[in-house]
């Protein structure tokens, strides 16, 4: 049993940056990146194992299926209580925070650029540590 970290962002430079930070902060040695919500959902549908927990660093603004759409889609899946999500956005507004509170699976909303400290904070959150 382990924690699999997914990075979902339409911008490849952001994906690159997140991968650097995630690995450097030792949140995960092998995060998996997706350029769209649809691709991330496909992956989960096909590979989700009962033994694993999934932590998604999820961009809010994306063409096609945006961050919120993906959260809603996962909410309807059987594996939804194996998924934890950190919403990552260029600018956080109050609306995003309010909205995030109504989802149990969203554990935080953070503003880009994500920092090492923030990654460590995620790692230390009690929900995740039990599986790490």
B/e letters for 22-54, b = 16+ CB within 10 Å, e = fewer, are beebebbeebbbbebbbebbebbeeebeeeebb
How many residues of this chain bind other proteins (CB under 8 A)? 17
Residue 66, classed as helix, strand or coil, is coil
User: How many other CB atoms are found less than 10 A from the CB of residue 87?
Assistant: 24
Using the minimum distance from each CB to other proteins, give the nearer residue, 19 or 54: 19
CA distances (Å), origin 79, targets 52, 84, 90, 119, 130: 10, 11, 28, 24, 18
Shortest separation between residue 82's beta carbon and other proteins, angstroms: 29
Cβ neighbors of 97 (< 8 A, separation 6 or more) are 109
Of the pair 24, 97, the CB lying nearest other proteins is at 24
- Range 59-98, binding other proteins (CB under 8 A): 61, 90-91, 93
CB of 16 to other proteins, least distance (A): 7
Q: What mask, x for binding other proteins by CB under 8 A, covers residues 13 to 32? A: xx-xx--xx--x--------
At 77, list the tokens: 């899946």
Kindly state whether residue 120 participates in binding other proteins, applying the rule CB under 8 A: no
Nearer to other proteins, 66 or 79 (CB): 66
Binding residues vs other proteins (CB under 8 A): 11, 13-14, 16-17, 20-21, 24, 61, 90-91, 93, 111-115
């Amino acid at each position: 049993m382990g924690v699999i970290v997914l990075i979902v962002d339409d911008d490849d430079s952001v994906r690159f940056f997140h991968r650097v930070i995630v690995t450097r902060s030792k949140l995960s040695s092998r995060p998996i990146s997706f350029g769209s919500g649809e691709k991330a959902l496909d992956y989960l549908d096909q590979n989700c194992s009962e033994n694993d927990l999934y932590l998604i660093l999820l961009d809010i603004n994306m063409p096609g299926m945006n961050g919120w759409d993906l959260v809603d889609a996962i909410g309807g899946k059987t594996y939804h209580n194996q998924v934890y999500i950190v919403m990552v956005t260029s600018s956080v507004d109050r609306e995003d925070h309010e909205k995030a509170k109504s989802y149990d699976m969203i554990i935080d909303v953070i503003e880009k650029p994500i920092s090492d400290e923030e990654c460590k904070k995620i790692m230390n959150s009690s929900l995740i540590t039990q599986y790490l």
